[in-house]
Amino acid sequence: MGDAKSPGHRSGPLQAVSGSPCCQYARRPARRIRCSYPGDTEGYPGDTEGPGEGRRPVPGGLLVDLYELNMAASYLRRDMVVPATFSLFVRRLPAHRGFLVAAGLEDCLRFLEGFSFTGDDLAYLRRAQGFDEDTLAAFARLRFTGGVRAVPEGTTVFAGEPLLEVTAPLAEAQLAETVLLNHLTFQTSVATKAARCVLAAGGAQLVDFAFRRTQGIDAGMAVARASAIAGFSATSNVEAARRYGLTAAGTMAHSFIEAFSSETAAFTAFAEDFPGKTTFLVDTYDTEQGVRAAIEVARRLGLPGPVGIRLDSGDLAGLARMARRMLDDAGLPDARIFASGSLDEYAIAALVAGR
């Protein structure tokens, strides 16, 4: 976080050149994703939004860089309790980035609401870090009593504009810095990348399949939520779908195809088990033959609703055009084509251009 000298947030996010990508994105309605947690059927004390929709406060006295504790201790020893304002903003955008999409505020508020030092926290600070008893007593009493001003999640922001401002007694504001930076910088980066993909897709639906490759479970949950805020339609992460009220989506893996005696047998089994949501993965062996097998199974079983195929390798644009012709010729014009495999905004734009 920087100091309070950065410019205040403008009255609205639409101050870009008309027709530019950031202007197009900012006109999209922001999606509010509330947080709920396993076992949260009654709501939490103080919740006003109904069961499963409140924030569960979490203690986090040690979720901090050590130098924050040292500075806070020095402030408290000198009774420096005057209010201070810390602004979190980006000084300059990375190359090829014209805007950011704010995300992570919900986790920041949850942290601040529950901020405290537990007995174990204080024992560790006494034993391992050598803090004196007066400082430990001051830490034990510490709670966040300040205020937060922030842009709503999903808002388009630019360099120099605060995403969030904290005003609180100096030690409280200082100790909030590490976690707020962690939540906001990561989730804003993800939401911005996801927004660029949404723009590149030109209205096509996007699904987050990042969970298996994210840096840990918490990151996987945050990615699903930030992607949804940016406009993704669904996630493969079932726990994220439950916790945040998202749509869970998935197809099948190559291992499923290989577990059967043939591609046709695998497709038949899956279609029989999940007749209303069948998407065939067609590139395990030969994509053209896989599309033929999908067509044969779909027509033979008379599946309800539109079926789909998934392309996961090769020249996705070329294979999609081939598959589209085959599906249309087979009387399946409503069949969906799902593309996957290391797709970023540039690859998505190329796919859309090659349709």
pLDDT in tens, 113-167: 999 999 999 999 999 999 999 999 999 999 999 999 999 999 999 999 999 999 9
Backbone angles phi, psi at 219, to 5 degrees: -65, -40
Residue with tokens 């392309």: 311
Query: Which residues, 6 or more positions from 163, have their beta carbon under 8 angstroms from its beta carbon?
Result: 88, 89, 90, 100, 102, 150, 151, 157, 184, 188
User: 125 is written with which tokens?
Assistant: 């600070």
Amino acid 57: pLDDT: 55
Give the β-pairing of 336-339 and 308-311. parallel
Q: At what angle do helices 119-129 and 133-141 cross, to 10 degrees?
A: 150
Residues 175/169, Cβ–Cβ less than 8 Å: no
Residues with Cβ within 8 Å of 27's Cβ and at least 6 positions away in sequence, in order, are 14
Tokens representing residue 190 in the block:
């993800």
CA atoms of 259 and 336, how far apart (whole Å): 25
Task: Write down all domains in the chain, each with its CATH number in brackets.
Answer: 21-200 (3.20.140.10), 254-353 (3.20.20.70)
* Banded model confidence at residue 4, pLDDT cuts 50, 70, 90: very low
Residue for token pair 């726990």: 239
Whats the size of the chain, residue-wise? 355
CB of 108 within 8 A of CB of 198? no
Lowest mean pLDDT, pick from 23-32, 231-240, 292-301: 23-32
pTM: 0.84
Report the distance separating Cα 335 and Cα 341, nearest Å: 20
| Local structure of 7: helix, strand or coil | coil
Please give the mean pLDDT across all residues of the chain. Answer: 87
Confidence label for 25 from pLDDT (cuts 50, 70 and 90): low
Give the pLDDT mean for 178-197.
97
Question: With contact defined as beta carbons under 8 Å apart, do 129 and 74 qualify?
Answer: no
Cβ atoms 303, 277 nearer than 8 A: no
pLDDT at 355: 67
